[in-house]
Structure 1
């Protein structure tokens, strides 16, 4: 059997290591990772190989040649432009007339390839995918199979809510050559995104083989360090060059070790390296060929490539040093720091944790490097979470970070584009971060429209109805005064999607975002506040039946929560003829953020005033203007789900055969309401992006998140608390109803929620086992795993996207039963982590 080795990878997440070499040439214990793959192929009798190359292809071709010195026959297939994984193999189609193996040249594995090939033959498969269980499946394609190994579903790089398994695609395939007839030559085509879903759709025999053994994608710098450590510690079966001299120390030829040097394995010493007097090396560490570790230097859990120098009393602690680099005396490199090839760190300099330094740089004597060179910041799990980019002020989110983030976002947009930027009413914090972002955007050639301090719905509307291609809103977290949220909008004013988030993250972490020449620098224009507000109000008044509301002559209590909606709502209420008793109108930045207990006290006060004054209702709008909390005319506080049921009832009663979209956490009462009024409920994922995306679906008149957020697509397909207030008044006026009457007419329901802590590395496993155990009872997979237990009884297990925990939501026929059900499945989730 022949093998195709995929070796076109650029390895952008491994920069600066891959700036001067392709990813397959990155060394693992003294040999390029691709050489370990060729050795694995040879051990299983595969000696005829086609290598697909693109990025820095000559590096690979020069090293491996025709393969004769490695006991192989190698043919190369070059791509002039990226064609995707399948497209690159299609280029070599003339060499592939029989079943063949496809394997990545930039991953590390010791899988039994013979067993995989045998499985493929036994199943008479058209394609066999090698699968593995991993702790965090988010960065891989998740595969779901039945008991026979037949693949039933693909999920390409899912979010936590879509993870129904921890079984992922390793990129090792056995394929029948007939699969290459399914697509055209010289056109981009991908195995996991295009070909395999096509085979599944056609019903062709496509199988998954769950391999045992070691596999590592070597996808980023931490995985690279781990792969080397695993090799030294025997966790992966590869050939370690040199001889084993005891104490888990391997030496190649020409190594010199001083008598008083101290080495604590596992350690690999490349040929002709020198370990001088008093030096101390703690493993797992790798010292490359011709490298010198000078007197009394300390190397701890670090990797040093070839021809480098570690000076006297220098210290490396969990660091990575490229080739031909000098770390001079008394210099220190801390955990996670990386320095590229041909660089110099002068005497006494300190490289702080997670700093990356590009090749050909010099760090001056005594310098303390806190940020990456050329530009950069500290490593993070991921930039984006549910609320955008969030972090502690001046710790996670510094002005330097914000400027780089702005530049990274700008770099994915066309030069000369307009991005609207604004902030909330908190003064110092949001303003500092916003100005830093504004400074970063023009460096990427982006023109900034500074729309100052407006509510989020106004900012979204501005982006959607001007020439802006995107927007950024900076706010103090409504939950924690130490935290800032940075929200990014697309050209339609909606939260950017996951694909765009990944583009920004990739550019940010690669730290090579676009810098334009002086003639192309973007401009910064402050927009007149009145113009921005009037643009929103003009559209707002077109979709509200103002005459109907004026006739009703509502009296309400309004809590502005010290937010920026005070710029608009008083004028709106005046135009609608609403008599308003106002609370908390001052723009006090110290009161913008409220704890859960403080919000509950605010609502209790609102309820007391509403009932005492016999007003029609009370409303609290959040400082950002996106969500509302409501009290009815009897002083009852209506939680988010109750308000979702109220709005659903009013909208479906008003609009015949319409559709309301709601998250999978919504109660079954919504279905009963829809049936009553001949309407439809469309369930969605709980993330705001998913809810907003649903708003554009045909027939959808309302989207609610169950947390006080409502979307009215006829105006803006995004959450808007001001529009929610107006529409609630309009609907109550239309039906000449009191809010309490609508509430009393709702079907009863009982929900209970709880949370279960779960380490990140166990979340995928828990989802897989739950999916398998409750396969017969699982509802249609939308978000998390929903288990249908009968009429008005279900449980949803939902992994949190940002935190190491699960949410468990249950509905039953009484509050006690719902609570018991939630607690029962919380215990199930806890047990599956063992």
Structure 2
């Protein structure tokens, strides 16, 4: 049997440590990550090993050579241009002429490969994937398997909505050469995106669940954790140095000064020097030939080889690259990183998460913030539901806006245009202009529009054929809201949002040349054309016959202008009232004015409450607070699901349109939603209450169950297994279908440690009972 190790990754998320060193060569207790993988293959009798290389491949080849030092034969295959995980292995097809094991070169593991190989030979399938339970599966390929361990669904890097299991792909496989028939030559092909979903449908993919140690090293936290796990013997890998004190390992030629305190677990490399009075706290790692001078204090810090730490320094959970000089009295705070060949002057303070990039010199007495020499990272997850929310100049700063704009620009091709707009006030206009100029630096053109609301803006993206759009507004409760759009005015997909975050975190921006810089163009969007586009999708004549009299609150000039044009065309009479009217006063005004309905709009007009003549108040939702996949709510292209909330129930009315006239972007359009609501009432010739009483709508109940992040995947997996006897759908969350119109749906909340539960039926009693059963199971499985 042969082996192949994928070692071509650039390690963008680990920069600046990977600026001079390829990720597979980063040291773990002085040995490259890749060396542990070679030793693992040899341990299980695999000595013929291919290594696919691309980024800084010379460093790998020079270190390992032909592999004879490790008792193996190494063969290198260049992955140039980058062809993806599957495409790179295709390069070694001529070498891999028998069953072979694939290992990712940036993972640390002690998997019992021999046991997995025996399982593979027993099942006689094309691919066996090593899988493992994890607490947070978002960064991995999610695996759903049946009782025979056959993989029936594969979801790469799911959102919390899609988490239906806590079992993930480890990037370690046993494969037959037949796999190459599914991989094109000299084309980009990825196992997770292109090959595995196809094999899962062909019953050719099996999972071997291992309880052994495995850690994917993709972030700084994971890189540090790998070192600590080696120190604490969490995996079956020997430490080559002598254990001179309990859990303290030292190499040859180490010099220890008088009065030094060293606490395990810790690691001190060959030829290192520890000065008098220095304190080495647990989980400290000092590379060979490095110096820690007198009275310096290390706590959970990692120092690469050949670096010098001066006197009276304090290193708190920091990482220092090789050949770096840190002068006296320097303080480095948690999660700070100093790359290779840097010089940090005396009495400097590097704050939490500060990054110093290679070959930088920091003057004495400097204070380096979290931005470092290059701006630092913001925690992942700041982009949710295609929007960014925060306080102006607190969470949302000019520096942050510039980086977000550059990252958003990475979604588009050079020369494409996006639409940009905002509310017309000083705060939003300033942030809009910042975004506009920054994205020009990515080679993206902008079309700028004035006097907009969200619905009109989404229409304009489609009408002007823009590749995307950015709309900035202020909300009284949430602060600045930056809404990002894709083509046709749709919200960004989860994968697009993750791509933006990844570019933001790695700072791998594209900087256009002077000739490629984006340009701005002011555009006018016709309100009348927009209103006509909405009216084309509504039964105008039927509504006009009703001659509705409406009470509507004044919210903003743009919304009022749109409603006046729209409702006039529908034959409605409008009485305008103040925005802040209390509910009882609205009901009284309805009686005195003899209005059919009242519409009370939210601050920006994207939500409304509808009052009927029976004092019922219906909340018009746009499904933002009810995260149900569209697949559950639409049975055909020409069906529009309209939701009104009455009490605890969401009433779902399914409206029919002309074939193919409904597009997803209209679902959130405020005029379209109101028009379809009036159409429903007009077609029935009854009040909403009468429609609900005589032709019962479908009831949708909703509740939330607290569930810790680390328990979510396990709970979802157990629910899926427990409900196997029922027909179910697995997409974003899990649907349990009891009858055609009776189902329950569970999905993990994307922002909070909660599982959301929905129950749908014609009878609210049945809906409530089904929901109660699921909630009890969710609570029960958290205790297991």
TM-score w.r.t. the length of structure 1 is 0.86
1:461 aligned residue = 459
1:784 aligned residue = 733
Cα distance in 2 between the residues matched to 1:116 and 1:754: 42
Cα distance in 2 between the residues matched to 1:463 and 1:805: 35
Deviation at 1:139, TM superposition (A): 1.6
2:595 aligned residue = 615
- In structure 2, relative to structure 1, the CA distance for the partners of 1:813 and 1:491 (3 Å cut) is closer
1:506 aligned residue = 502
Mapped contact 2:534–2:671 kept (Cα < 8 A): no
Deviation at 1:550, TM superposition (A): 4.4
1:113 aligned residue = 113
Deviation at 1:303, TM superposition (A): 1.4
Deviation at 1:511, TM superposition (A): 0.9
CA RMSD after TM alignment:
3.0
1:745 aligned residue = 694
Mapped contact 1:461–1:716 kept (Cα < 8 A): no
Alignment of 1:517-532 (within 5 A): 517-527=513-523, 531=525
The correspondence for 1:440, drawn from 435, 438, 441, is 438
Give CA deviations for 1:362-400 in whole Å, capped at 9, x if unaligned.
Answer: 233333333435543433132322252234443332221
Mapped contact 1:610–1:635 kept (Cα < 8 A): no
Deviation at 1:25, TM superposition (A): 0.7
The correspondence for 2:664, drawn from 701, 714, 717, is 717
Mapped contact 1:633–1:740 kept (Cα < 8 A): no
- In structure 2, relative to structure 1, the CA distance for the partners of 1:85 and 1:791 (3 Å cut) is closer
Cα distance in 1 between the residues matched to 2:302 and 2:557: 52
Mapped contact 1:549–1:577 kept (Cα < 8 A): yes
- In structure 2, relative to structure 1, the CA distance for the partners of 1:293 and 1:195 (3 Å cut) is same
1:676 aligned residue = none
Mapped contact 2:250–2:267 kept (Cα < 8 A): yes
Structure 1 residues not aligned, in runs of 5+: 586-590, 592-600, 645-661, 666-684
Mapped contact 1:287–1:304 kept (Cα < 8 A): yes
1:449 aligned residue = 447
Give CA deviations for 1:602-638 in whole Å, capped at 9, x if unaligned.
Answer: 5565445334533111123333443333222322112
2:608 aligned residue = 628
2:403 aligned residue = 404
The correspondence for 2:758, drawn from 797, 806, 809, is 809
Mapped contact 1:664–1:782 kept (Cα < 8 A): no
Cα distance in 2 between the residues matched to 1:289 and 1:403: 41
Cα distance in 2 between the residues matched to 1:75 and 1:332: 45
- In structure 2, relative to structure 1, the CA distance for the partners of 1:724 and 1:560 (3 Å cut) is farther
Give CA deviations for 1:99-148 in whole Å, capped at 9, x if unaligned.
Answer: 11111111000111111111111222221111101111122111122222
Mapped contact 2:323–2:342 kept (Cα < 8 A): yes
Mapped contact 1:559–1:606 kept (Cα < 8 A): no
1:675 aligned residue = none
Deviation at 1:754, TM superposition (A): 2.3
Mapped contact 1:421–1:452 kept (Cα < 8 A): no
The correspondence for 1:828, drawn from 771, 777, 780, is 777
- In structure 2, relative to structure 1, the CA distance for the partners of 1:93 and 1:378 (3 Å cut) is closer
* Stretch deviating more after TM superposition (29-38 or 464-473): 464-473
Mapped contact 1:293–1:310 kept (Cα < 8 A): yes
Deviation at 1:21, TM superposition (A): 1.9
Cα distance in 2 between the residues matched to 1:564 and 1:548: 27
Mapped contact 2:135–2:166 kept (Cα < 8 A): yes
Mapped contact 2:389–2:478 kept (Cα < 8 A): no
- In structure 2, relative to structure 1, the CA distance for the partners of 1:793 and 1:470 (3 Å cut) is closer
The correspondence for 2:640, drawn from 687, 702, 712, is 702
Deviation at 1:798, TM superposition (A): 1.8
- In structure 2, relative to structure 1, the CA distance for the partners of 1:454 and 1:799 (3 Å cut) is same
Q: Could you say what secondary structure the match of 1:260 adopts?
A: coil
Cα distance in 1 between the residues matched to 2:288 and 2:32: 13
Mapped contact 1:771–1:778 kept (Cα < 8 A): no
Q: Could you say what secondary structure the match of 1:295 adopts?
A: coil
1:271 aligned residue = 270
Give CA deviations for 1:145-200 in whole Å, capped at 9, x if unaligned.
Answer: 22222222222222222222111111111112222233333232222333333333
Alignment of 1:376-415 (within 5 A): 376-386=375-385, 388-415=387-414
Cα distance in 2 between the residues matched to 1:754 and 1:698: 27
1:310 aligned residue = 309
Mapped contact 2:339–2:358 kept (Cα < 8 A): yes
Q: Could you say what secondary structure the match of 1:173 adopts?
A: strand
Q: Could you say what secondary structure the match of 1:384 adopts?
A: coil
Cα distance in 1 between the residues matched to 2:402 and 2:624: 35
Cα distance in 2 between the residues matched to 1:328 and 1:159: 45
Deviation at 1:799, TM superposition (A): 0.8
Cα distance in 2 between the residues matched to 1:350 and 1:94: 54
1:470 aligned residue = 468
Cα distance in 2 between the residues matched to 1:294 and 1:611: 84
1:672 aligned residue = none
The correspondence for 2:549, drawn from 547, 551, 555, is 555
Given the alignment of the two structures, is residue 164 of structure 1 paired with residue 164 of structure 2, yes or no? yes
Give CA deviations for 1:717-742 in whole Å, capped at 9, x if unaligned.
Answer: 32111222233334544554444433
Cα distance in 1 between the residues matched to 2:568 and 2:6: 67
- In structure 2, relative to structure 1, the CA distance for the partners of 1:747 and 1:613 (3 Å cut) is same
- In structure 2, relative to structure 1, the CA distance for the partners of 1:397 and 1:307 (3 Å cut) is same
1:259 aligned residue = 258
Deviation at 1:97, TM superposition (A): 2.3
- In structure 2, relative to structure 1, the CA distance for the partners of 1:193 and 1:514 (3 Å cut) is closer
Deviation at 1:826, TM superposition (A): 2.5
Q: Could you say what secondary structure the match of 1:780 adopts?
A: strand
* Stretch deviating more after TM superposition (79-88 or 49-58): 79-88
1:679 aligned residue = none
Cα distance in 2 between the residues matched to 1:500 and 1:813: 37
Deviation at 1:287, TM superposition (A): 1.3
Mapped contact 1:111–1:211 kept (Cα < 8 A): yes
* Stretch deviating more after TM superposition (709-718 or 5-14): 709-718
- In structure 2, relative to structure 1, the CA distance for the partners of 1:110 and 1:602 (3 Å cut) is farther
Given the alignment of the two structures, is residue 240 of structure 1 paired with residue 239 of structure 2, yes or no? yes
Cα distance in 2 between the residues matched to 1:170 and 1:734: 56
Give CA deviations for 1:558-581 in whole Å, capped at 9, x if unaligned.
Answer: 134458413422333344442212
Q: Could you say what secondary structure the match of 1:779 adopts?
A: strand
The correspondence for 2:576, drawn from 579, 582, 588, is 582
Equivalent residues, number: 772
Given the alignment of the two structures, is residue 686 of structure 1 paired with residue 628 of structure 2, yes or no? yes
Given the alignment of the two structures, is residue 573 of structure 1 paired with residue 567 of structure 2, yes or no? yes
2:720 aligned residue = 771
1:669 aligned residue = none
Q: Could you say what secondary structure the match of 2:36 adopts?
A: helix
Alignment of 1:243-392 (within 5 A): 243-373=242-372, 375-386=374-385, 388-392=387-391
- In structure 2, relative to structure 1, the CA distance for the partners of 1:567 and 1:101 (3 Å cut) is same
Q: Could you say what secondary structure the match of 1:155 adopts?
A: strand
1:40 aligned residue = 40
Deviation at 1:436, TM superposition (A): 3.1
Cα distance in 1 between the residues matched to 2:100 and 2:703: 50
* Stretch deviating more after TM superposition (167-176 or 433-442): 433-442
Cα distance in 2 between the residues matched to 1:384 and 1:779: 30
1:757 aligned residue = 706
TM-score w.r.t. the length of structure 2 is 0.91
- In structure 2, relative to structure 1, the CA distance for the partners of 1:633 and 1:797 (3 Å cut) is same
- In structure 2, relative to structure 1, the CA distance for the partners of 1:428 and 1:756 (3 Å cut) is farther
Cα distance in 1 between the residues matched to 2:584 and 2:5: 66
Cα distance in 2 between the residues matched to 1:737 and 1:144: 48
Deviation at 1:548, TM superposition (A): 5.2
- In structure 2, relative to structure 1, the CA distance for the partners of 1:23 and 1:604 (3 Å cut) is farther
